[in-house]
Structure 1
Amino acid sequence: MSSIADHRSKRDLERSLARDLTRMRAFYKISLLASSEAKPGEIGARILGEFTRTMEFRRAEIWLLGKDRRLRRLAWHGRVPARVAPEGMPLRRCAFGRVLMRRQGLQYADAGVGPGRRRCHLGWDRMTTLFGAALRGQNGPIGFLFADRGGRAFQMGARDLELAKALAGLIGEVLKSSLNREIEAKRRSDLLLLNKAGRAISSEERLSILLPRLTRMVRLATRAHGAVIALLEEGSREFVVAGVAGPGGARYMGYRFPSRPHRSALSARVLHSGAPVRIDDLVRHPEVCAYWPEARSALVIPMRSRGRILGTFRLESLRPAAFDDEDLAYFSILAEQIGHAVRRARVIEDLNHKQNDLRAVSESLERRLEEERRRIALELHDELAQSMTAAKINLGLLGDLTREAAPEVRRAIRETEAVILRTIDDTRRISMDLRPVMLDELGLVPALRWYANNFARRTGIPVDIQADGSGGPARSEFKTLLFRFFQEALTNVVRHARAQQVRIGLTGMNGTVKAVVVDDGVGMKQNGDRPHGLGLLGMRERIERAGGRLTIISRPGRGTRLEVNLPHRAAEGRPSQEGPA
């Protein structure tokens, strides 16, 4: 008999040692999860597997307690309901949980439906005896652990209860560490996204490029199912989708919808309430229109600038309750950034429209001025110059007829003839200054040589012209533009440069017409690359409108170099390959 008792005692000891070894192994495995990089939900599921195996439970769940005092399921094990309310459960609906707030761990009998009320919010089948423990962090409970043995009643000894409570304490520390890592990683990701969005906003002013880029950026960073930016048009008071990222989202680009309130339109609701809208479960709100039918939750935030709502920023996720209060605060900051960018882009667009209108008016005035110059030049050449020539001929005849007249009469005739000659020369000079006839008849280079010779004769400053055989651009307006450039440059030489010599160059190579004027005068102070004087400023604007560029290189005492580069395609009148003008 003693040998049988000894054998049983030895077997019980071996079982006890094996059970203690299993429990020590459970502590070790759960503690290792504190350094895991997995998500809290994955860590929670592995913890429950080890916990139920060690404590001989059949099913278990971990519920986290949020700042809003609502319980949300993190992980589960065994035969439990696959779906729970995504918005969570108020703590007040779980009497067992409220008890656990004040206790470390507790075995709770009669946890199912009692006389008049449910003891716990868990929807498990045949729930009788239940073990529960609060999972605590440094600042108090972070959630609860619930477990049972598949609906069978059980009784836990003091040793088992202490062991379960110790494991629950370790589980709380491991989960808190994992949650902190997730919060820190999300914070870093959010800051990185804000930084990237800020750089994109500062580097791009065109909303047609910026807004789709931002939606792609946000969707990639947040792993949302889709992101949509809808702008509110002031004139029509309609929303228009200006940026979208998500499966098949391209079909929504440019989509318009009214801004009047309607239960299906979240953007209209945000516009009229001024507050963000968050829907944790779209299945429970079938009246709401979603961009992606498979989405389960949505977040819509107003985009403001200076207190005005300019549009909405919307995210949709495949997970229920995917967005929390921290997401709401973070995306509100991002939406405000986008709102400022939209306002800035609209201001710039409005300025560009006004600038284009001013340019159109300026071009029209310049065309009319050039036409008027041409008309006056022709009238001076054809009418006044011819009339003065006829008057000179008549004076010559009169001089022949008055050879025997008094000397005073002959002197008066000679003086009048000299005045007429000077008037004819001045008339021709003014006519050529207004619009050289040879510019239209012979081309730019002959007209330039004639003007340079007259300039040198009039001012005493020699002009050296170097021009290739291309003859300059073919289009009349570009010949006029370059002639006016040379005219303005030589005028500035006379007025400001105090130069001894001027060199002029006109070449066409590598698809570009280059016009250069270089003097050896006193130079001028550089202020960036901005021209000095209204004449060169107006010339720069005309050259840039034609697709060219005016460059000024000058240093005090070293002279000045003016250079114009005009694309040959524009000068020849052929359409550009790079896009519309």
Structure 2
Amino acid sequence: MAVKISEKALDHVIDEMIEVVENSKDEIFNISEEARKEHEHLVFELKETKEKVLRHIENGDQLEEKVRFSRQRLAEVSKYFERYSEADIREVYENTHLMQTNLAMLRQEEKVLRDKRDELERRLITLSQTINRAEGLAGKISVILTYLQDDFRQVNEMIENAKEKQEFGLKIIEAQEDERRKISREIHDGPAQMLANILLRSELMERTVKSGSVDQAIAEIRSVREMVRSSLYEVRRIIYDLRPMALDDLGLVPTIKKYVDNISDYNKITIDFTVFGEERRLNQKYEIAFFRLMQESIQNAIKHSAASLIQVKLEIRRDSLTMLIKDNGKGFDLSVKRDKSFGLIGMRERVEMLEGQLNIQSAIGKGTIITIKVPYSTP
């Protein structure tokens, strides 16, 4: 009875943890994407508006010159009325009136465009306040991590007498702690530092503007913009590690390609990805499982093997899926039991849930080859 209660409590905490982390991840992603898209859109729209204002000014000046000449012509016709026919007089008058009307309309349009330009510039300034929300979201992540830590301590006490789940629960806590330290370190060294720098630079920019140094203020704005862009990149990378949104939108193959490119660039390591067979969308449980298996294998190779080359091959057949992850790292002795092999245990359990097979070949100094094959059937 105690074991059943502990299992229910553990499942409840895990579900709650996943829900909170997923919600926070989606919030960060949405804010980052909305801010980036809005900023790009406003910059483009402001550029177009400024160009229209310049064109209206130029056209207005030209039309104003024509109106001036037409008025002189009208004055001449009025002065020497008897020299011109009624048709000539009417034509000069109508042309002058038409050009004056067009000039008034053009100046009104110019005013509207100027107002729009000023409004766009104000919106671009206020957009920076939205981007600063990322700093608050970084704080939310810290709160979530603290929340997870406290709940898992309670889970530890609750499953103390559940022998079947005890070891597994402790390993979950250890993995969660490692993941939390990793995310905390990445946020502290990346977005949090950048956001702090942005805050300091914004204060410097405010003082620069007050001092009247426009060129220096513009330079500071450009610098802050680059910092914001770097912060958004780091936030998106962290979000992608938690749960790539492309997996739901694009499928397994494009998501692996994107992940391989990002992780290769970030860790300065060569990772080759090859696909055989038909590139198509798979059932979600297979896409999630194979992405996580690939992710865990690559992370292990980067973290433990000191590899300089990793090869990932995926074969998609009508009735089966096969993945091979090979690295040229230092390898390990399969006969020696590894104390911290929770990642491999999780991989085996994931493959077994799909009724598949996982095979690991490795030797010291000869790298590692992980082969995963599962049967596939469309529901």
Give TM-score, length-normalised by structure 1: 0.33
| Higher helix proportion (structure 1 or 2) | 2
Higher relative contact order (CA 8 A, sep 6+): 2
TM-score (norm 2): 0.48
Question: Who wins on radius of gyration, i.e. which is larger?
Answer: 1
